[in-house]
Chain A
Amino acid sequence: MKNWLHTIQQNKRLQALIVGLYIVVTFFSLYLAQKSVVAFLLLLSSLLLLYFTTFSNRVKWLIGGLVMVVLLPLAASQGEAYQSYMEVATLVGIYIAMALGLNIVVGMAGLLDLGFVAFFALGAYTYGIFATGQANNFMPFGHYPLSGESFWVFIFIGCFVAALFGILLGVPVLRVKGDYLAIVTLGFGEIIRIIFNNLDKPVNITNGAMGLASVQPPRLFGIDFMYPSQFYYIVLVILIAVIFAVRRLEFSKIGRAWKAVRENEIAAQAMGIHLVKTKLMAFAVGASFSGMMGVVFAAKQTFVDPTSFTLLESITILVMVILGGMGSVPGVILGAALVTILNLQVLTELTNWLNQLSLNGVISVPDALSPAKMQRFIFGIILILFALYRPQGLLPAKNPVFNEKELKDTDKLVNAGVQKEATQHVHLDS
């Protein structure tokens, strides 16, 4: 088996053949069998297969882009289930961006944040309040709801608001040691939810537990974005920007500072890293991704209420990071996709199937055991098992390895700067 894998790894043409064949087969199976969720998931997992190939990064991105932009929507668009497939794909994108944000805080900087969904809520409410009539209650000027064209601006406003609150939360909290931080952020998440739930008096800002209904859909060149198939592309664009940003940050000066702080705060400080600034940066960047996706989420659901932002959501995002591998960008993407699909597709399908079986009288499964209710159980098990047996996650984080010989080579000292950068790129690709 190992030999066999090794030969495949050596032979690029063979890899291309396998990946191409896989994509074609799954594409046509989804194209022809529209109701098959399995085919949809298999087509999605072609991206994972692609990740394991040894192509250069550019080729991987090109093929991946082709699958995401053209093949997946095209294959899914042939039946009634089109919108529900795209809904799943959109939510996967939203959660991936959030998990990448939390990955910066937990995985890279080593600060356990258990109230991460608060930033998502801030983003969602920022757009929700101004894109419904709600803002009329307290804004002295302007007409509300704002038109859907403002959505594009609000993506950046949501990003900014969340980052601001990340810093506001960080300033007092970061004087506290690691394990207290978990509790304080947990408290913060709950506080934000309680405040949104009760901020309908004295001035009605968030409409309390009733939530904000009929949020304006985004609009571009006179086209309203109403359906998941349209939101899919918005999310895709933002997601690619986020992945790009995370990849660049990870190997930048600040990214290395985050990792140093994670490994040992005091030692990092001794190496001249400004602790508070570094940690605040992690909080702000992580929160900003979440805030951005909050805006998209509000526009997609056209409805915002406090029940979407409970502790369970925060833990769900944490599970994504732990499952995929703390600090590893591809891992977290995989983890987020797995958990979201498990939540949205696998559990509901299983529940339906079991209900069907009980209806037919094959077996009787008590209502208490229905898989849709078992989220906490599953997440608990995942957290415990991964922490105990595989703390590095499914796809562990890789640190770039430098070729010592090449760096020491004095002949190339003149080009040392260029050389260093080149080697770094080579190893990022792998």
Chain B
Amino acid sequence: MINEVLHTLPQVLIDGLTLGAVYAIVALGYTMVYGILELINFAHGEIFMTGAFVGTAILLTFAGFGWLASMPAIVALILVLVVTSVVTGLLGMGIERVAYRPLRNAPKLITLITAIGVSFLLQDIVRFIAELKNGNYILTGPSLFSGQIGIKASSISSIFNDASVKSSFFIVLIVAVIMMVTLDFFVNRTKWGMAMRAVAQDRETAALMSVNVNKVIALTFFIGSALGGATGVLFAIQYGTIDPYIGFILGLKAFTAAVLGGIGNIRGAMFGGILLGVLEMFAAANLPVVSHGILGAEYKDVFAFAILIIVLIFKPEGLFGKVSVEKV
């Protein structure tokens, strides 16, 4: 049994890293918003999904004009990433302005309910537009990086099987790392980043120190949503087929990743995302083997939620979070 698990390990690690990178960046959006507003932005998963659709739509348009063949794939990718992140970033800011800002002092329950409403609304608007333009809301984008590269893991040790990698894997990983490093630099080293951390710590005091709180919150939403949208594009390129309902479950898992790493903690979210991606792929590959076929691969979602519940019960502050004491 151990042998079987080890055989598939290289492939599991590669798939897990890809998925984990996606989770990690989406988790960043959750963790930033939670850090600053103490609000679970349910709509963030839908912003990710919108990003995937916007990106695919742009690529399809390019392909329709025949531009895609005439420019290098990497240029097309960068172009699409930039446009999509600006669009989703503005979308995130708009959502904050319309749906969350008027409720900033309302009970938390009300804000959560608006967030769910926004999430449903976005799902249906995207479905509607996709179905109107395309006849079907399930979209398949053009494949930009479809080459397969074999990794001879068996040459390292005979226990492992060979793994195969889509070349988009490297793109996803590289872009994800660039985004995370840039964000980390931005938050920790720049003036705006300092303002964000200040608002997260104490909104009123930050305002007294002449930080424009509304602007900082809008900026947070812009950055988080832009990252989420860009990740959507990466997801669409890596996995090919998208539909308007991918965002909800993926968002939920990304939130799990954020909780795992300690909510409000940016580095923790990155680590939690990667960890959750690898764990989930590991479970999907090995649950049927370990349980002799009793538990199918369908239980991988249950596995992710079980992790969430266990973390919340035993270590609600996450792996890297700080324990907070609630006062009246």
Interface residues of A (CB under 8 A from B): 106, 110, 112, 114, 172-173, 175-180, 182-184, 186-188, 190-191, 194-195, 197-198, 201-202, 264, 266-267, 311, 315, 318, 322, 326, 366-369, 373-377, 379-384, 387-388, 391
A191 touches B40 (CB 8 A): no
- B57 to A: closest C-beta gap in Å: 15
In whole angstroms, how far apart are the Cα atoms of A273 and B108 in the complex? 22
A383 touches B124 (CB 8 A): no
Residues of B within 8 A of A176 (CB): 312-313, 316
The secondary-structure label for the interface of chain A is helix
How many residues in B have their beta carbons less than 8 Å from beta carbons of A? 51
Residues of A within 8 A of B308 (CB): 183-184, 187
- B171 to A: closest C-beta gap in Å: 31
Residues of A within 8 A of B309 (CB): 172-173, 184, 187-188
A112 touches B118 (CB 8 A): no
A383 touches B116 (CB 8 A): yes
Residues of A within 8 A of B299 (CB): 194, 198
- B284 to A: closest C-beta gap in Å: 13
Of the candidates B103, B117, B137, B316, the one whose C-beta lies within 8 Å of that of A379 is B117
Residues of A within 8 A of B316 (CB): 175-177, 180
Q: Mark B131-154, 1 if CB is under 8 A from A, else 0.
A: 110000100000000000000000
Given the known interface contacts A180-B259, A369-B128, the answer about A311 and B248 at a Cβ–Cβ threshold of 8 Å is yes
Given the known interface contacts A190-B305, A318-B116, A391-B106, the answer about A376 and B132 at a Cβ–Cβ threshold of 8 Å is no
A387 touches B110 (CB 8 A): yes
> What are 24 A-B residue pairs whose CB atoms fall within 8 Å in the complex?
A110-B109, A177-B316, A178-B109, A184-B312, A188-B305, A188-B309, A190-B252, A194-B302, A266-B328, A311-B248, A322-B113, A376-B120, A376-B121, A377-B120, A377-B128, A379-B120, A380-B123, A380-B124, A381-B121, A382-B117, A383-B114, A383-B117, A388-B114, A391-B110
A182 touches B40 (CB 8 A): yes
A194 touches B301 (CB 8 A): yes
Does B165 make an interface contact (CB < 8 A)?
no
- B168 to A: closest C-beta gap in Å: 29
Given the known interface contacts A194-B299, A384-B121, the answer about A368 and B110 at a Cβ–Cβ threshold of 8 Å is no
Residues of B within 8 A of A177 (CB): 316, 326
Q: Which 9 A-B pairs have the closest CB atoms?
A: A383-B117, A380-B121, A380-B120, A368-B131, A187-B305, A377-B124, A384-B117, A376-B124, A387-B114
Residues of B within 8 A of A182 (CB): 40, 112
Stretch of B20-28, B67-75, B226-234, B290-298 on the interface side:
B290-298
B117 touches A264 (CB 8 A): no
In whole angstroms, how far apart are the Cα atoms of A176 and B259 in the complex? 12
Given contacts A175-B316, A315-B120, A384-B118, 5 further A-B contacts (CB under 8 A): A179-B38, A377-B120, A380-B122, A383-B116, A384-B121
- B217 to A: closest C-beta gap in Å: 17
Q: Mark B179-217, 1 if CB is under 8 A from A, else 0.
A: 000000000000000000000000000000000000000
* Residue with the highest number of chain B CB atoms closer than 10 Å, among A191, A387, A391: A387
In whole angstroms, how far apart are the Cα atoms of A114 and B117 in the complex? 13
In whole angstroms, how far apart are the Cα atoms of A173 and B310 in the complex? 10
Closest residue of chain A to B38, judged by CB? A179
Does B249 make an interface contact (CB < 8 A)?
yes
Residues of B within 8 A of A178 (CB): 108-109
In whole angstroms, how far apart are the Cα atoms of A178 and B110 in the complex? 12
Does B119 make an interface contact (CB < 8 A)?
yes
In whole angstroms, how far apart are the Cα atoms of A353 and B137 in the complex? 24
Residues of B within 8 A of A191 (CB): 301-302, 305-306
A388 touches B128 (CB 8 A): no
* Residue with the highest number of chain A CB atoms closer than 10 Å, among B38, B117, B326: B117
- A391 to B: closest C-beta gap in Å: 5
Residues of A within 8 A of B301 (CB): 190-191, 194
In whole angstroms, how far apart are the Cα atoms of A188 and B301 in the complex? 11
In whole angstroms, how far apart are the Cα atoms of A177 and B324 in the complex? 12
Closest residue of chain A to B326, judged by CB? A266
Closest residue of chain B to A187, judged by CB? B305
Residues of A within 8 A of B113 (CB): 112, 318, 322, 383, 387
- A378 to B: closest C-beta gap in Å: 8
Residues of B within 8 A of A374 (CB): 124
Does B78 make an interface contact (CB < 8 A)?
no
* Residue with the highest number of chain A CB atoms closer than 10 Å, among B40, B108, B124, B301: B124
Given the known interface contacts A186-B252, A197-B298, A384-B118, the answer about A368 and B313 at a Cβ–Cβ threshold of 8 Å is no
Residues of B within 8 A of A187 (CB): 252, 305, 308-309
* Residue with the highest number of chain B CB atoms closer than 10 Å, among A106, A183, A318, A381: A183
Does B102 make an interface contact (CB < 8 A)?
yes
Residues of B within 8 A of A367 (CB): 131
Does B174 make an interface contact (CB < 8 A)?
no
Residues of A within 8 A of B116 (CB): 114, 315, 318, 383
A381 touches B125 (CB 8 A): no
Residues of A within 8 A of B131 (CB): 366-368
In whole angstroms, how far apart are the Cα atoms of A191 and B301 in the complex? 8
* Residue with the highest number of chain B CB atoms closer than 10 Å, among A114, A172, A186, A368: A368
Residues of A within 8 A of B328 (CB): 264, 266-267
In whole angstroms, how far apart are the Cα atoms of A383 and B124 in the complex? 14
In whole angstroms, how far apart are the Cα atoms of A106 and B112 in the complex? 12
- A243 to B: closest C-beta gap in Å: 24
- B160 to A: closest C-beta gap in Å: 30
